[in-house]
Structure 1
Amino acid sequence: MSSQEQLPGKVCVVCGVDCSGRPRVKDPRGRYFCRECYERAARRKKRREAEMAAAAPPPEEPLEAELIPEDEDAGLGLFGELSSAEGDAAVATVREIPCPSCRNPMPAGAVLCMRCGYNRQLGTRMGTAGAAQAETGGGFSFGALAGVGSLLKQPWLAGAIPAAFFLILFAMAKSNENFAMIYVGVQGIFGLVVGILVLIKAFCQGVGTGFLCLCVPCYAIYFVFSEQNDSVLLKWAYGAAILSSIMSYSVSYSVGGVID
């Protein structure tokens, strides 16, 4: 047998099959691959490269950034922080303005103040809870306790309505003991409610003022009618309470001492 016949054929290094009569590929090292094995190996290689590229970290900063000296780099960072802080302060200053009515900070684009209810476009104050507290000096809102908006617009009704009611009841109580007892009971409740409102208003102004109104009735009258110029509603209600209290004593004497 000749030496040429003993030489092995073109065997694929992957699958070990003789690919002499089949499509094949020869690498630079002289190895043979059948085309199917070569294409599968190429696809696997591309897939591995794609997976490695997806898992690779982001590229580093350009090398030009490392050419800046260390002292200059530190200086630039410091000035950058200072300029950023100044820019934030300028933006914060521009974004907030004081309310023209209560001076509370509000956004520059806002129309309505959430504290006092001032409308910048209309130039008036709206009926908010904050506005009610601002008008009454903070702690207590008599307008909300009084109820209806008509009483706020016409505070004299807070005195006229109770006075008219007690006058009618007084006329019936002059000749009927049952109506007299009803009058005294209703007037006592009305006077108690108004008195509590006066005390709350006085204690909101000061502890000493509250104790004076509690212990000295004459000072309570002075406090309501002289010092409470902004509480017209309370003045009318307190006046009606005083008038109905005087009529209550008259009723008790006229029916023969219904109340001892």
Structure 2
Amino acid sequence: MLTRRPLSRGARPPVHSHDFFELFWLDGGAAVHAINGKRDALESATITFIRPDDEHAIFPRSGSAQITNIAFWPETIAFLGARHGDVLSGRTFWSSEAMPDTVTLGSLQLLTLNAWAQRLDAAGRGQLALDAFLMAVLGLLANDDPLPPGAERGPPWLAESCHALLRPDVLRRGVKGFVAVSGLDPAHVARVCKRFTGKTPSLLVAEARMALAARLLADTDQAIVQIAMEVGLDNLSHFYVVFKTHHRMTPRAYRLRHRRDVLGL
């Protein structure tokens, strides 16, 4: 079953459990997830993997939220686990934690996920289409972007802050978001970043922004002004300057050169 719908303001669905697996993600708004006796605040661009016997309900936190939900029988997860258990063990549907696995998606991941869901919906409800979708999603989440060189030798908070730059809410806030994830004094964060990566927080943020911008230019049809806002640069002229500094060409030239086409054109 695949559904895409808004969560209406004021809706309070009952807490329930079931004998199948499901995953859902928010691509707009914010929600409260009542799950296994607790409440979890979910922001836009989060995906949650629900297992049989998890007791949950979801409703908008303020205003309305947009949710996509996909449910399927345990046999599918058993099949995937038997084939790829060494890679999937302890994550997503295979987590043994009391709370289900919830992952914050990057901007490109969310765009990709929604495109795959549209294809799945158009393909009908066949097992092959479902297996292909789930393998693509699990592979997408397994392929984390690498850390900046040297970050892995630093304290754990440095790696966490660098990984957090994949999250839209952190990236849009720039250096303030990067420092907020660390929970430390900005001057201390700057010293540690320089010591282990050789770069300032400002440069790490700029590189993360331009890496995402490049992927969005190559892989999506988003307008350049939308991409600039997506990476946290509302001034389009400034976005062009920063992009050209990092990629030695304008965003439009980059898109034309790196546009991926199945025909090779």
Pairwise same-fold verdict (TM > 0.5): no
**Larger relative CO (CA 8 A, sep 6+): 1 or 2?**
2
Bigger share in strand: 2
TM-score (norm 1): 0.24
TM-score (norm 2): 0.24
Bigger share in helix: 1
Q: Which structure has the larger Rg over C-alpha atoms? A: 1
